């Protein structure tokens, strides 16, 4: 078993080389081990200013913010102010969707576990005022229902904005202020920055995008996304150490022990902490999404050596957090461009193996028989007619097709709104992964994306393509 000192030695000896190998401008790591937090940072916060990253530098944590929002919800549950199985309308009477019956049924638990069923990737900017989240929720009256509430998992940013609005109403203030008062201040987290206005007071990382000519990554054209999506992860920033302190507080909550560092009580009750990391829904085999989902937490493993956490991505920044509760270990990596997912596997995999006896779960990879085009065509010769077709929602159109040679292709056509956030049209070759899914032949964004096909109709055609989000068939 490694001590904090040996973990620190490992980070100092390996982080810089691994960061360069993955073309990541800057990386900050924090590890919870034996109750202590070990931190290290390397690289530059901007390839233009060349300001060096330090352990007090703040990076955006993206969708890891959802766990902070879920924590705030569970505090309301602990206080008896929220019932997880009550319809959201109990707390937000004006909540409306295009499907009135669905809007009346969706529960807090379904929102926390991404099972609400309405379209979840809505990024409308409603301004920078304190009413940004309130205005956003009003716009959801036009959002379409993709599947019945509770039917299955589909990752939802919009669902977490709804939870953020519920928090605002029940606490009678902004989501940002609740986050400060109920998490950051009690834990003494001085770098936590709910918006760019706080982040600018710190040594802030700038997101980077790949250069068109393959050269050094270049700063993204803007720092943060819209305030309307902040409870889902559009702008919250902090140091790796402060994110690790938040993770450590959850470890203490699950164990029912004092947090330490002068903090006497845990964030949530022991029951709430366990419920957050207990599987509420199982997922098909997907890349980067875990085997199951709890109430806020992604669950990678819930076997003999449990592992849970969350990832986050904003414009040019990626964040990663994993917690092994039985061993009291947490690993945080914050990056500002390049192959952050690949770097995380290189750093966290060996660390978790050494500290807990089990590393990260194996990532999905294509079958070994896909080296030659003729082999791939033969693999695609099995009946894939139920997978072929066009799938669409309001932000993207996806098409799975098969060419005359028998090769399979996956095309993504994002709307202008999604392209403004960095998404680009693409066409990638896919191959059979199993009877109900395909997998990208080449790695993209650090992984081989898996496409699962769900809910076949009587004619055998899948009703949904699923890659973390469920997108319904259009034709």
Q: Which residue has the tokens 């599947």?
A: 147
Greatest alpha-carbon pair distance for the chain in Å reads 67
Q: How far apart are CA 203 and CA 206, in angstroms?
A: 10
With beta carbons less than 8 A apart as the criterion, state whether 147 and 119 touch: no
Let me know how many helices (H) and strands (E) the chain has, helices first: 14, 20
Helix (H/G/I), strand (E/B), else coil: 439: strand
Q: Which residue has the tokens 């069923």?
A: 117
**Nearest partner of 145 among 89, 100, 86, judged by Cα:** 100
Which of 63, 228, 269, 437 is labelled catalytic?
63
DSSP assignment of 150-173 equals: TSS----HHHHHHHHHHHHHHHTS
Q: How many CB atoms lie within 10 A of CB 337?
A: 29
Q: Residue 195 catalytic?
A: no
Backbone region of residue 158 per phi and psi (left: phi > 0; alpha: psi in -120 to 50; beta: other values): alpha
With beta carbons less than 8 A apart as the criterion, state whether 213 and 42 touch: no
**Helix (H), strand (E), coil (C) string for 294-305:** CCCCEEEECCCC
DSSP 316: T
Q: How far apart are CA 59 and CA 318, in angstroms?
A: 9
Please name every residue paired with 238 in a beta bridge, in sequence order, or none if there are none. Answer: 59
Three-point CA angle 119, 133, 89, nearest 5°: 65
Q: Which residue has the tokens 């605002």?
A: 168
**Nearest partner of 126 among 220, 205, 231, 206, judged by Cα:** 231
DSSP 145: B
Helix (H/G/I), strand (E/B), else coil: 267: coil
**Nearest partner of 308 among 318, 449, 295, judged by Cα:** 295
Instruction: List the catalytic residues.
Output: 63
């Amino acid at each position: 078993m490694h001590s904090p000192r040996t973990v620190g030695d490992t980070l100092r000896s390996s982080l810089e080389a691994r960061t360069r190998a993955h073309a990541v401008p800057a990386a900050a790591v924090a590890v919870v081990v034996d109750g202590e937090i070990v931190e290290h940072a390397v690289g530059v916060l901007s390839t233009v200013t060349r300001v060096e990253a330090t352990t007090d530098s703040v990076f955006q944590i993206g969708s890891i913010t959802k766990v902070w929002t879920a924590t705030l919800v569970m505090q309301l549950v602990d206080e008896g102010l929220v019932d997880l199985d009550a319809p959201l309308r109990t707390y937000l009477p004006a909540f409306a969707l295009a499907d009135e019956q669905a809007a009346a049924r969706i529960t807090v638990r379904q929102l926390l576990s991404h099972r609400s069923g309405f379209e979840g990737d809505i990024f409308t900017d409603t301004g920078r005022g304190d009413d940004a989240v309130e205005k956003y929720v009003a716009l959801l009256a036009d959002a379409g229902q993709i599947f019945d509430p509770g039917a299955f998992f589909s990752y939802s940013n919009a669902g977490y904005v709804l939870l953020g609005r519920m928090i605002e109403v029940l606490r009678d203030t902004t989501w940002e202020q609740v986050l400060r008062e109920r998490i950051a201040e009690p834990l003494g987290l001085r770098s936590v920055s709910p918006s760019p206005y706080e982040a600018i007071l710190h040594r802030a990382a700038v997101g980077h995008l790949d250069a068109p000519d393959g050269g050094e990554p270049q700063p993204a054209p803007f720092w943060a996304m819209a305030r309307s999506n902040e409870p889902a992860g559009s702008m919250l920033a902090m140091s790796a150490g402060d994110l690790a302190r938040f993770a450590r507080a959850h470890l203490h909550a699950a164990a029912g022990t004092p947090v330490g560092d002068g903090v006497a009580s845990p964030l949530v009750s022991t029951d709430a902490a366990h419920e957050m990391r207990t599987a509420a829904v199982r997922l098909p085999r997907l890349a980067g999404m875990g085997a199951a989902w709890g109430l806020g937490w992604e669950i990678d493993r819930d076997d003999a050596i449990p592992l849970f956490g969350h990832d986050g991505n904003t414009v040019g920044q990626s964040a990663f957090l994993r917690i092994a509760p039985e061993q009291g270990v947490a690993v945080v990596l914050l990056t500002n461009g390049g192959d952050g997912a690949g770097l995380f596997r290189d750093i966290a995999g060996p660390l978790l193996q050494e500290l807990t006896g089990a590393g990260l779960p194996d990532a999905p990879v294509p079958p070994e028989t896909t080296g030659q085009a003729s082999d791939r065509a033969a693999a695609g010769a099995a009946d894939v007619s139920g997978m072929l077709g066009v799938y669409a929602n309001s932000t993207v159109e996806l098409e799975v097709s098969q060419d005359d040679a028998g090769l399979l292709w996956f095309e993504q056509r994002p709307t202008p709104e999604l392209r403004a956030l960095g998404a680009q049209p693409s066409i990638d070759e896919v191959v059979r992964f199993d009877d109900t899914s395909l997998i990208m032949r080449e790695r993209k964004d650090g992984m081989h994306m898996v496409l699962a096909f769900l809910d076949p109709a009587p004619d055998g055609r899948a009703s949904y393509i699923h890659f973390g989000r469920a997108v319904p068939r259009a034709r």
